[in-house]
């Protein structure tokens, strides 16, 4: 068994050495090679999709450095591990940068925009009025589904109704909300025009 400390350094690990002194026989099935590379990459990045990206990047890098000739599996496995670790480092840096940017924006001290606050308040009032216009049976189903996050089965059980009735009431409530908001938007935009 080769211990990590006994691996040759990157400077002494040349292509010529791996071609002539390879301990593993060259595999005749490229699918097994890809599966091995995929397994190694997935172990490091912990994601199937990203692992396939790492394998593709590994094979592309190998092809660009040595066109027309594929490296032996041990060299590809080492390159795959390096590419996967590089991806993890880049991902961690990106997450740290995004987190820092969000924190800086939240603590910028500028406060909220008064125009946005006024528009959000007005929109909230319009939505509240549109919900109030709904018939009670539709309003109850709409509030349970949209505001409280219950699913169809839970609402049907609470109201002692069939699931089909819950779905039809919710569809009618959405249609009613849409119509109420369109009427309100027309009145609102006419008021702005005058």
Domain boundaries in the chain?
26-98, 114-193
Domain 114-193 top-level CATH class: mainly alpha
pLDDT, tens digit, 9 for 90 and up, residues 41-81 = 999 999 988 999 999 999 999 989 888 888 898 999 999 99
Question: What are the backbone dihedrals phi and psi of residue 136, each rounded to the nearest 5 degrees, phi first?
Answer: -60, -40
pTM: 0.41
Residues 90-144 pLDDT 10s: 998 888 888 877 776 666 555 567 888 888 888 888 888 888 889 999 999 999 9
As given in the structure block, the two tokens for residue 93 are 């840096």
The dihedral formed by the CA atoms of 181, 184, 188 and 189, expressed in degrees to the nearest 10: 60
Residue 62, both tokens: 């190998």
């Amino acid at each position: 068994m080769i211990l990590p400390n006994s691996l040759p350094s990157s400077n002494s690990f040349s292509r010529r050495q791996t071609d002539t002194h390879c301990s593993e026989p060259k595999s005749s099935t490229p699918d097994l090679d890809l599966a091995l590379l995929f397994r190694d990459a997935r172990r490091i990045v912990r994601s199937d999709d990203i692992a396939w990206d790492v394998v593709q990047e590994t094979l592309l890098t190998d092809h660009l450095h040595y066109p027309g000739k594929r490296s032996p599996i041990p060299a590809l496995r080492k390159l795959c591990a390096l590419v996967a670790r590089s991806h993890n480092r880049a991902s961690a840096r990106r997450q740290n940068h995004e987190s820092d940017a969000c924190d800086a924006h939240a603590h910028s001290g500028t406060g909220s925009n008064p125009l946005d606050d006024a528009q959000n308040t007005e929109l909230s009032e319009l939505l509240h009025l549109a919900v109030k216009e709904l018939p009670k049976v539709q309003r109850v189903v709409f509030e349970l589904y949209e505001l409280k996050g219950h699913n169809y089965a839970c609402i049907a059980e609470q109201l002692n109704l069939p699931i089909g009735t819950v779905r039809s009431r919710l569809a009618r409530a959405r249609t009613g909300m849409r119509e109420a908001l369109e009427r309100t938007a027309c009145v609102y935009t006419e008021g702005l025009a005058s």
